Each structure stands twice: as C-alpha cells, then as structure tokens.
Amino acid sequence: MQAFTVHQGLVAPLDRANVDTDMIIPKQFLKSIKRTGFGVNLFDELRYQDEGYPGQDCTKRPLNPEFVLNQPRYQGVSILLARQNFGCGSSREHAPWALDDFGFRCVIAPGFADIFYNNCFKNGILPITLSDEVVEQLFKEVEANEGYQLTVDLQREVVVKPGGTELPFSIDAFRRHCLVNGLDDIGLTLQDADQIRHFEQRYKADNPWLFASKNN
C-alpha cells in the first residue's frame, strides 16, 4: 500500500450530500477483485451520459460536461472535497479502489459512513473530517479559485490552505501509523513473518504426526 505522509494536490468539489457507494462505483462493476481498473468507472452514472458496463471502452463514451471531474479546470485532481455522509450505502471496498485508481489520495468531508471510512485507511486513502462550516468555506474557495490546491500533512494532522492557514484534524494513532508507513492488513501481518515462521516450525516439530505423509 502506498504510504501517506505529506500530500499537495488539486482539489475537486463534489457538491452533494449522501453520496453512496453505488454512486461511487455502480454495482455492475463489482465482478473484479483486482483492485485496479476501476478509475474509469468512478462516479460512472454522473460522468457519462450513457449506461456503463464492464469491459466498455470509456474513451468513446459521451461525457456529462456538467460533472465536476469532466471540467478542464479539475483535471489531475487528487483531493476530493465532499459533503456530509460520504460513502454511505452498501459495504464495498471497490469504492476506495475506484477513488485510488482515479488518483485521489484524500477525501475531505464533514462526515463519512463508518464502513467506507474504515475501508479508506485499508486502501491508502486518507479520509479527513472537518466541520460543516470549514468545508463550506473550502467549497467557496475552490470554486472561486481555479487551480486551488491544499497540502495535507498527516504526521502533523493539518490541512494547509494556499495562504498558509492550517486546519487541524484528528486521526486515530494506529490508523495514522499504518498510513504513514504504507501498511495494510497484509503488511501488518508480514511484519511478524519471522515469528510466524518460527511458530510453524516449532509446531510442526512438536506435532509430527499431524504432518505425516499418508503413504507412510
């Protein structure tokens, strides 16, 4: 998993509340578990004017010119500014997979659905909760200033605005440790690989009958 320490990026404003996981990545794209290739179908029903299906050549699909991610000023974004209850609905890791594959490293919102929030940390995306008032001000600044960027410092737990104003946020210490060090659940387990191998060797030596060949 890609580590997250300090990230500076262009911000895209998704100005709607209660964006659910089916809107983030529609159900017809959940057949694959490769974790990659979902970016072209992120917000599929909002980005395109036709109905999407797996394996489709999205370069030939008609785009919705009103959708924020299709607008020229928001090309190359890596920070998503959202509204309350982002990521609600059904549980699906495909939602953070799609955000990550598109290029998003961070989502800022007044609140997140619990399961989506947890899945973000397991897939290298930093979800930041800020107050409604602060998020509202950020929406105004992003929309008023083309090329608006924020710097997110996870170790210091601050979002830094272009003028230098710092917006503090709070992340659980264990989750921060995992993101800073690029550790997902598998990475955490592999930190104890030597101890796991030692246990397996000792267990096999102490219980040889469990591992005896059927031919003996």
Give me the domains of the chain, ranges plus CATH numbers. Answer: 6-184 (3.20.19.10)
Tell me the pLDDT tens digit for each residue of 134-153. 999 999 999 999 999 999 99
pTM as predicted: 0.87
User: Is 90 exceeded by the pLDDT of residue 40?
Assistant: yes
Q: How far apart are CA 5 and CA 216, in angstroms?
A: 55
The pLDDT of 90-110, averaged and rounded, is 95
Q: How far apart are CA 98 and CA 36, in angstroms?
A: 8
Q: How far is CA 152 from CA 80, 126, 129, 158, in A?
A: 12, 9, 12, 6
